[in-house]
Amino acid sequence: MASYATSSAKAEMSELRRLKGLLPPELQSWVTVEGTTEVNPALIRCEEIGKDQVEIQIDLVKWDTLAIDQRNLLFWHDVARVQNDTIPKDGWEMAALAIGLGGAVGELWVQDGLLLILAMALCGVSGWRLYQKNSGEKVARELIEADEKAIALAQRFGYSLPNAYKSLGSALKTLIDSTPGKRQRSKYEARLSALKRSANKVRGNKSSSSKNLDESF
């Protein structure tokens, strides 16, 4: 049992080192890759852990079920999110919303009309900003843009254009099949549909680099 645990730990460390090697050189000094310790975590996600420091966290148990090429493209998707500066951030909006709500409740108690209006205005502004940041359309656009950049990163690391598309498409299909949550599964489906449209567009150019880009995913 101890031998198995040691072997598993070595395999996980080896995979994390391999992924760190897939970071573009310009990111290696401030982006780290670690296994997550959360309960029921996402397969992979990014998090700011300090000023100018980002950590990519991976559920290594789920990760191990994917093929190497699938892992690479999903990893580069999150690397692209870091490059695009679209990872979730803790902004001022949540704090402002909490202050506004607390102020509104307090002013209702003391019945100060002007301060109540100001507190409600603060709630409105911060609430609208949160809606804009987390709107489905904006998030979907950011995910699709990250997939496009992941394809470019794969080519930078030696993938052919057809193989980059096929690997990412295969990874998304696997995630769709293995994801029980409807909301998360719909995000993967939207990304796969966008990837297919992009592949069709590339195929339509009939360039030598895209002639082998078929409908395999």
Percent of the chain with pLDDT over 90: 53
State the pLDDT at residue 105: 45
pLDDT for 191 beyond 70: yes
Q: How many domains does the chain have?
A: 2
pLDDT for 26 beyond 70: yes
Is 53 domain-assigned? yes
In tens, the pLDDT along 86-136 reads 886 654 434 444 454 454 444 444 454 555 566 556 555 545 454 454 556
Residues 37 and 139 grouped into a single domain: yes
State the pLDDT at residue 213: 64
Q: Which residues contact 29 (CB under 8 A, 6 or more apart)?
A: none
Among the three residues 102, 134, 166, which one is the final residue of a domain in this structure?
134
In single-letter form, the type of residue at position 211 comes to K
Q: Give CA–CA dist 116/183, Å, rounded.
A: 37
User: Which phi and psi angles does 4 have, rounded to 5°?
Assistant: -65, -45
In tens, the pLDDT along 147-180 reads 999 999 999 999 999 999 999 999 999 999 999 9
Q: Give CA–CA dist 169/110, Å, rounded.
A: 59
pLDDT for 15 beyond 80: yes
Residues 82 and 177 grouped into a single domain: yes
Contacts of residues 155-161 at CB distance under 8 Å and 24 or more positions apart, as own/partner, are: 156/24, 157/22, 157/72, 157/76, 160/209, 160/212, 161/202, 161/209, 161/210, 161/213
Average pLDDT of every residue of the chain: 80
Q: Higher model confidence: residue 214 or residue 167? A: 167
Q: Are 103 and 119 in contact (CB under 8 A)?
A: yes
Q: Which residues contact 62 (CB under 8 A, 6 or more apart)?
A: 43
Is 215 domain-assigned? no
**What residues make up the domain containing 39?**
2-88+135-205
pLDDT (average), residues 181-186: 91
Q: Higher model confidence: residue 109 or residue 139? A: 139
Is 13 domain-assigned? yes
Enclosing H/E stretch for 44? strand 44-50
Q: Higher model confidence: residue 14 or residue 100? A: 14
pTM of structure: 0.77
Is 213 domain-assigned? no
State the pLDDT at residue 48: 87
Is 216 domain-assigned? no
Is 113 domain-assigned? yes
Residues 108 and 50 grouped into a single domain: no
Is 214 domain-assigned? no
Which of 45, 28, 27, 23 has the alpha carbon at shortest distance from 36? 45
pLDDT (average), residues 73-90: 88
Q: Are 98 and 91 in contact (CB under 8 A)?
A: no
State the pLDDT at residue 137: 80
